[in-house]
Structure 1
Amino acid sequence: MVESRSATEPATEGGPSPGRSERLQLRLFGGFELSCGPERLALPLNSQRLVALLALRVAATRGQAVGILWPEVSEQQASGRLRTTLWRLQRTGRTIVECRGRLALAAGVDVDVSTWARAARRLLDDPDAADAPRAAPVEPVGDLLPGWYEDWVLAERERLRQLQLHALETVSGRLVEEGRYADALDTALRVVQLEPTRESAHRAVIRVHLAEGNLGEAVRQFDACRVVLRRELGVDPSPLLRTLLDPVDPPAGR
């Protein structure tokens, strides 16, 4: 149950409408947006932060929520902010957050990040995932909550970035097995574009070239990887990458 408002808070205008059962759509990729059909719900920043936190963590105790969202103030002040935030969410007339021992998003809220992450994990776990090139993890997604720099957002942003990179590499490998070299190369190159210093992405590109018999292209990709690793990180390609090119026998020094 949502906490009751204090005597100093203004009266609720109408309260939650029991007939409002439409599903809410929460978008976190590319920026925060909560909508119901064509209607966009405007929430104060603290309400956005709480909703986003619960969307990414699934659930949290009140103590966890106040500690994460308002670490710079006293526990009493943070608890007061949480009560106000929950009251403002209640004033929207829609069930967005449930408070049953733990705080959690209501069952009627669909989250783009959750949908995308489930598709990514299904793709990684199921070799027979249908039509892998069109799976959600391959589709472009915006940055998670751009402009938000809290530690919990940065950590989740990096987790999702890594999940996408792994999903793309997995798709590329399966496309090679199917003989779909053009799609495999396009997918692998997208990983290189997303993270130029990721050696496994360069390996994926080289594997496509070798599968097609394009040894010159494979050597050129090796050289490109070597240049970017030396320039950005001051390291050389690993023996694992060099092993791919053993049959090509690149010149000494590479």
Structure 2
Amino acid sequence: MSTAQVPAPRLRLLGRFTLEYGAAEADVCTGAQRLLAYLGLRGHGTRTVVAGTLWPDVTEDRAHGSLRTALWRLHRGREPLVRSDGDALSLATAVTVDARALADSALRVVEAPAPGADLWPEPSADLTQHLLFAGDLLPGWDDDWILFERERLRQLRLHALDALAHHLITHGRHALALDAALESVRLEPLRESAHRAVVAVHLAENNVLEAIRHYRTFRALLHEELGLAPSPDFAAMLPACVLTRD
């Protein structure tokens, strides 16, 4: 009789921490969660660095003890989730990580040729949905290393959403382009490049009134919050005769 194949483990760090095997969610203790999250985001690390990062407020011996306990718990019952190569630790190759997949999707968009270039294909539905609906990285976790990784991923996603909006405009996908631009605005309301993407969508659809209204709303917000004005490049996107009436 053949043995049923165990589903590959999936580590989810966006929205909340979960470790899944197919439809089943594994029960993972706090220390093991922290170890998996670290390796899922950083890729690898030496035992000393991992222990010192995850348990910074205890002695080195206790930190290494906590690391050994976390490794032991992760090795029970299933094939190991963490690889050990001498002093180096890394995730097993079978483990997929949603935060890594999001970063890969964002990098594909950011590193693509400029909008309009023949080398840039129409963005796939999967890539677009991935960037539009990703959750926050481990909300509620406030370790310094998590805060850094959360901001790094947020900035990468912001750049990708701005670029995605312009690529979608090129392919005439105006509704999705507007979704991408507005999601970037939601993530960072004072980010000019996001608002410029929104205006670019409206202009591509010949909705000049919508473009002007959005520009004026952003200009008022920027002045109220920071005492600044939009850049000349942003103003140049709109008819000069309209702006001179303000």
| Fold in common (TM above 0.5) | yes
In structure 1, runs of 5+ residues without a counterpart are 1-18
Residues 1:80 and 2:69 are matched in the alignment: no
Bigger shift: residues 58-67 or 224-233 = 224-233
Equivalent position of 2:192 in the other structure: 199
Q: Tell me if structure 2 keeps the 8 A contact 1:137–1:167.
A: no
Tell me the SS of whatever aligns to 2:104. Answer: helix
Equivalent position of 1:125 in the other structure: 111
Counterpart amino acid of residue 73 in structure 2:
R
Aligned residues: 236
Q: 1:68 to 1:140 in 2, by over 3 A?
A: same
Q: Tell me if structure 1 keeps the 8 A contact 2:45–2:90.
A: yes
Q: Tell me if structure 1 keeps the 8 A contact 2:165–2:180.
A: yes
Q: Tell me if structure 2 keeps the 8 A contact 1:24–1:108.
A: yes
Q: 1:37 to 1:76 in 2, by over 3 A?
A: same
Q: Tell me if structure 2 keeps the 8 A contact 1:176–1:211.
A: yes
Pairwise CA RMSD of aligned residues? 2.2
Equivalent position of 1:94 in the other structure: 79
Separation in 2, partners of 1:33, 1:177: 37
Counterpart amino acid of residue 26 in structure 2:
L
1:189-248 Cα deviation digits (max 9, x unpaired): 222222211111111111222233333222211111112112233322122222222544
Q: Tell me if structure 1 keeps the 8 A contact 2:102–2:131.
A: no
Equivalent position of 2:90 in the other structure: 104
2:36 aligns with one of 51, 63, 75: 51
1:185 aligns with one of 178, 188, 199: 178
State the shift of 1:129 in Å. 4.3
Equivalent position of 1:236 in the other structure: 229
Percent of residue pairs bearing the same amino acid type:
45
Separation in 2, partners of 1:63, 1:111: 23
Bigger shift: residues 32-41 or 121-130 = 121-130
1:166-192 Cα deviation digits (max 9, x unpaired): 222112111222233333223222222
Deviation >4 Å, runs of 4+: none
State the shift of 1:21 in Å. 5.3
Counterpart amino acid of residue 30 in structure 2:
L
Q: What TM-score, normalized by structure 1, do the two folds share?
A: 0.84
1:155 aligns with one of 148, 155, 171: 148
Residues 1:67 and 2:57 are matched in the alignment: no
Equivalent position of 1:251 in the other structure: 244
State the shift of 1:56 in Å. 0.1
In structure 2, runs of 5+ residues without a counterpart are 114-119
